[in-house]
A and B are shown apart, each in its own frame.
Chain A
Amino acid sequence: MNVPTSYVLILSAVLFILGVLGVLVRRNAIVMFMSIELMLNAANLAFIGFARANQNLSGQVFVFFVIAVAAAEVAVGLALIVAIFRTKHSIDVDQISSLKG
């Protein structure tokens, strides 16, 4: 199956942009996290595409690193959201603005 690398990259870019839009537009913290995951995965896809194009497995190895980091980050982030929900009884990020200057 000869998929041109450009298709993979375009898909990766589209996913990334969707993720960015999701982070910027949505107010729900969990949805924001999902968008962040989407961005991370878009980057993973780009890595895979280039690994395949350059016949170099380093790209795929790096994907493992990214997944591990994403997982850790989610763990921490979700713990934070649960803690915030306990005090604020809401996960609307617009309401977490007490660091306003």
Chain B
Amino acid sequence: MSAESYFALAPLIIFLPLAGLLINLGLGRRLGERFAGIVASSAVGLGFGVAVLQFLALQAEPEGARVVVAEWIRIGDLAAPWALKIDSLAVTMLLMVTGVSTLIHIYAIGYMHEDVRFQGDPGRYTRFFIYFNLFVAAMMVLVTGDSFLTLFVGWEGVGLCSYLLIGFWYEKGEGGIGNALAGKKAFVVNRIGDLGFLLAIFTAFWAFGSLRFDEVFQAAEQMGPAAAATTTVITLFLLVGATGKSAQLPLFVWLPDAMAGPTPVSALIHAATMVTAGIYMIARTSPLFELAPASANLVALVGAATALFAATIAVGQFDIKRVLAYSTISQLGFMISAVGIGAYAAGMFHLITHAFFKALLFLSAGSVIQGVERGHHHAAHAGHAEHFDPNDMRGMGGLRGRMPVTFAVYLVGSLALAGIPPLAGFFSKDEILADAAEGHTAVYLLLTAAAFLTAFYIGRQVVMVFFGKPRSGAAEQAQESPAVMTGPLIALAGLAAVGGALNFPGLHSLTLFLEHTLEGLHAAEFNPLVAGLSTGLGLVALGLAWTVYGRRALQAGDADPLSRGLGSLFTALNRKWYVDELYDWLFVRRYVAAAGWLANTLDGRFWHDWFHDTFLARSFRLGTRWLSEGFDLPVIDGAANGLAQLVQGAAARLRTVQTGYVRNYAISVLVGLLLVMSYLLFR
């Protein structure tokens, strides 16, 4: 087979995970955990193989290909078949998503095995992998879509899977409903973003007459300045969509709550893949953003502001996954501002490296959480039963000795996140900073400040979790995770270490690869000043974190040392700048009140009670009562009965003629005779 023909295999990348999920749906429960896990992981692994084939095909045919899978919609002028656009941007995403997904699937085999036993429902294991495969399939649809419509189908699909997986343990969480509420919050907030996306799609169709990317971009470029306003509107709506899915200001509030889902979910969906869909979407629609510089600037500012905002909140969190969640929001802000200033290659580069080290961090955090839970189990059996939260860092400490492999990979991930050379995070973050320094000063300053805080909070986390002395019985007895979990961790650590090679300054492999799809990419030159400044700041921040948290080991029950220094500022950081409370007061309560009014007063009291029960039902009953009692009974029954009575009366009276006396009859005969005779005689 020649390389170009590999393009025809592209639909497999969607159908393999679908096949995996269908097999698990039918046979998974019967054939056991190992089978389900292997089928799911293999489906995604084979998908990775297909992605590699697409990469090879692109080497032979760099412009890519359009593969039509099926006829879908054909209404009047609108013809929207389901087609795949396999180009360098899509293949970049495909490789990253399938590769990281495979590693996370393997990790999840081990993680979910323990988790379903901790939570007490072993039967739910298969369902997890079904949802996981469904997610990968939907993400593939999103990434390979050749039109706004197909992308949106995938967009909605991943949103659905996110909801399903966040609320995987739907009966657990705060008050027995916390996880379900988190899933609902994710879905609803995402919906607001989706509304923006839909408006963008409608406007694009209305203005340019097509939903296919190629045709829309061509039409927009041809119409040029005439379409400037429309393009700005479309891109602003697209930004709203990206804000929802990629958790930027102001629609980021769902992502920290989404940590209620199992850790592989947080790693895959809420760090590496789904949340990057917004960045991918902006990169995909870059021709429109090039035509609307105002929107692009707004994108960059939103991203940079989010990066700094989320980084500040991460400093004040105690839940190990929450720190990483806010870190994700912050890093997504980096990516969004990169694509906003036009540095699409830098943004995609950071997207990939972030997937590596953030997935690594999340999975390692999961390993830590389960290690501590195993320790708690141990301690509980030994008689020390404490009421504890396995996610709380205040109950950890000193795990470096008890969980060495996890510590080592976590360290790699943290250094990568902090942007310390030569790990991957340094190269990608630095490229963004270098691009920002070339004329986008505000963005550059915001991102640099965010980078400083990034190093600080991750240093804080590493010190709190792994250094010092164990602060609880569970941490004292923590146990390392099995090889099925640590294996993928080591693989991801390797990727996080060497991932910088994807776009080395000078070589610019990724930039050159993406240039086939995104025109006008320019690779920023390596700026030693920027690089040196960011590295220096990173090291200073790490040192600061060590000083505050590591020099004197924290004891159990200690307050956070930063809270003593910052006081109420730290409380604000811990309470997420009270954004959730603000939204609750501003939107949620109003909405619930309005919905309550509509339901109870308008629908209940007016429509149901008055209109239906009183007005309609009562008047109907009165009407029918008149008809039956006032009309049917007297008139119709009266007529029938009256007629009968008339006949009866007449008969009774006529009956009296028959007296039984012969002589009466004789008189009648005589009278009749006289009458007849008189008539005959006198006529």
- Chain A interface (Cβ within 8 Å of chain B)? 20, 23-24, 27, 32, 93-94, 96-101
| Contacting pair B666 A24 (CB below 8 A) | yes
- B670, CB-defined interface residue at 8 Å: yes
Chain B positions within 8 Å of A20 at CB level: 670
Q: Is the CB of B670 within 8 A of A24?
A: yes
Contact, CB under 8 Å: B660 / A99: yes
Q: Within 8 Å of chain A (Cβ to Cβ): is B656?
A: yes
* Contact residues in A for B655 (Cβ distance below 8 Å): 101
Instruction: List 9 contacting pairs A-B, 8 Å CB cutoff, sorted by A.
Output: A20-B670, A27-B663, A32-B662, A96-B660, A96-B662, A97-B660, A97-B661, A101-B657, A101-B660
B658 interface residue per 8 A CB criterion: yes
What is the size, in residues, of chain B's interface with A at 8 Å between Cβ atoms?
12
Q: Across the two chains, which residue of chain B brings its CB closest to A25?
A: B663
CB pair B666–A101 under 8 Å, yes or no, is no
What's the minimum C-beta distance from B444 to chain A, rounded to whole angstroms? 124
Which residues on the B side are within 8 Å of A96 (C-beta)?
660, 662
- Residue-wise, chain B 638-672 has the 8 Å CB interface mask toward A (1 for contact) of 00000000000000000111111111001100100
Residues of A within 8 A of B666 (CB): 23-24
B658 touches A93 (CB 8 A): no
Q: A24-B666, A24-B667, A24-B670 are in contact. Are A93 and B661 (CB under 8 A)?
A: yes
User: Complex Cα distance A28/B141, Å?
Assistant: 122
**Chain A residue, CB-CB nearest to B670:** A20
Evaluate contact between B663 and A24: CB separation under 8 angstroms.
yes
Q: Which of A23, A27, A98 contacts B660 (CB 8 A)?
A: A98
Nearest CB on A from B674, distance (A): 10
Q: Which residues of A contact B660 (CB under 8 A)?
A: 96-101
Least CB separation from A29: chain B residue? B662
In the assembled complex, the Cα of A91 lies from the Cα of B667 at a distance in Å of 20
The closest CB in chain B to the CB of A99 belongs to B660
Pair A93/B663 contact, Cβ less than 8 Å: yes
C-alpha gap A22/B195 in the complex (Å): 117
Known contacts A20-B670, A93-B662; 18 additional CB pairs below 8 A are A23-B663, A24-B667, A24-B670, A32-B662, A93-B661, A94-B663, A97-B660, A98-B660, A99-B658, A99-B660, A100-B658, A100-B659, A100-B660, A101-B655, A101-B656, A101-B658, A101-B659, A101-B660
User: How far, in whole Å, are A93 and B662 apart by their CA atoms in the complex?
Assistant: 7
Please indicate which of the listed interface residues A24, A32, A96, A101 has the most CB atoms of chain B within 10 Å of its own CB: A101
CB-CB under 8 A from A100, the residues of chain B are 658-660
Across the interface, which residues of B come within 8 angstroms of A98, CB to CB? 660
Q: Smallest CB–CB gap between B668 and chain A, Å? A: 11
Inside 8 A of B656's CB, which chain A residues have their CB?
Answer: 101
Closest to B663 in A: A24
Distance from B585 Cβ to chain A, minimum over Cβ atoms (Å)? 96
Cα-based distance from A20 to B657 in the complex (angstroms):
21
For residue A23, which residues in chain B have a CB less than 8 angstroms away from its CB?
A: 663, 666
Q: Which residue of A lies closest to B651 (CB)?
A: A101
Report chain B residues within 8 Å CB of A93: 661-663
A99 to chain B, nearest CB (A): 5
- Chain A minimum-CB-distance residue to B659: A100
The answer for the CA separation of A98 and B658 in the assembled complex, in Å, is 10
Which of chain A's residues has its CB closest to B673's CB?
Answer: A20
B91 → A minimal CB distance (Å) = 113
CA distance A99 to B663 in the complex (A): 13
- Which 10 residue pairs are nearest across A and B when measured between Cβ atoms? A97-B660, A100-B660, A101-B658, A101-B655, A99-B660, A93-B662, A23-B666, A97-B661, A24-B663, A100-B659
Residues of A within 8 A of B663 (CB): 23-24, 27, 93-94
> In the assembled complex, how far is the CB of residue A68 from the closest CB belonging to chain B, in whole angstroms?
23
Taken together as a complex, chains A and B put the C-alpha atoms of A94 and B666 apart, in Å, by: 13
Least Cβ distance of A27 to chain B in Å? Answer: 8
Min CB–CB distance B651 → chain A (angstroms): 9
Closest A residue, CB atoms, query B662:
A93
Q: How far is the CB of B293 from chain A (nearest CB, A)?
A: 115
> Chain B: which residue is nearest A101 at the CB level?
B658
Bound together, the chains give a CA A101 to CA B659 distance in angstroms of 6
Instruction: With both chains docked as a complex, state the minimum distance between the C-beta of B635 and any C-beta of chain A, in angstroms.
Output: 34
Chain A residues in 8 Å Cβ range of B661 = 93-94, 97
Closest to A36 in B: B666
How many Å lie between the Cα of A85 and that of B658 in the bound state? Answer: 23
Closest residue of chain B to A23 (Cβ to Cβ) is B666
CA–CA, A93 and B663, complex, Å: 8
Closest to B656 in A: A101
B281-324 with Cβ < 8 A to chain A: none
**A79–B670 CA distance with the chains assembled, in angstroms:** 26
Distance in Å: Cβ of B646 to nearest Cβ of chain A: 19
Residues on B with C-beta less than 8 A from A101 are: 655-660
CA distance A64 to B656 in the complex (A): 41
The interface centre, meaning the residue of B657, B660, B670 with most chain A CB atoms within 10 A of its CB, is B660
Chain A CB within 10 Å, residue with most, of B655, B656, B666, B670? B666
Report how far A83 CA is from B21 CA in the complex, Å. Answer: 110
Residues in A whose Cβ lies below 8 Å from that of B667: 24
Residues in chain B near residue A32, CB distance under 8 A:
662
Whole-angstrom distance from the CB of B655 to the nearest CB of chain A? Answer: 4
For residue A77, give the distance in angstroms from its CB to the closest CB of chain B. 12
- Inter-chain CA distance A11–B523, complex, in Å, is 159
- Give A20 to B670 CA distance when docked, in angstroms: 8
Closest CB in chain A relative to B76 CB, distance in Å: 88
Which B residues touch A97, using CB under 8 A?
Answer: 659-661
B659 CB contacts on chain A under 8 angstroms: 97, 100-101
Complex Cα distance A82/B658, Å?
25
Cα distance, A96 to B670, chains bound together (Å): 21
Instruction: Give Cα distance in the complex from A20 to B669, angstroms.
Output: 11
* Bound CA–CA A68/B494 (angstroms): 148
Query: In the docked arrangement, what's the CA distance between A97 and B656, Å?
Result: 13
Closest to B666 in A: A23
CA A52 – CA B658 in complex, angstroms? 43
Among residues 355 to 391 in chain B, which have CB atoms less than 8 Å away from a CB atom of chain A? none
How distant is the Cα of A41 from the Cα of B219 in the complex, in angstroms?
132
A residues within 8 A CB of B658?
A: 99-101
On chain B, the residues within 8 Å of A24 by CB distance are 663, 666-667, 670
- Shortest beta-carbon distance from A81 to chain B in Å: 12
Minimum distance in angstroms from A24 CB to a CB of chain B: 6
- With A and B bound together, what is the CA distance between A23 and B668 in angstroms? 12
The CA of A99 and the CA of B658, in the complex, are separated in Å by: 8
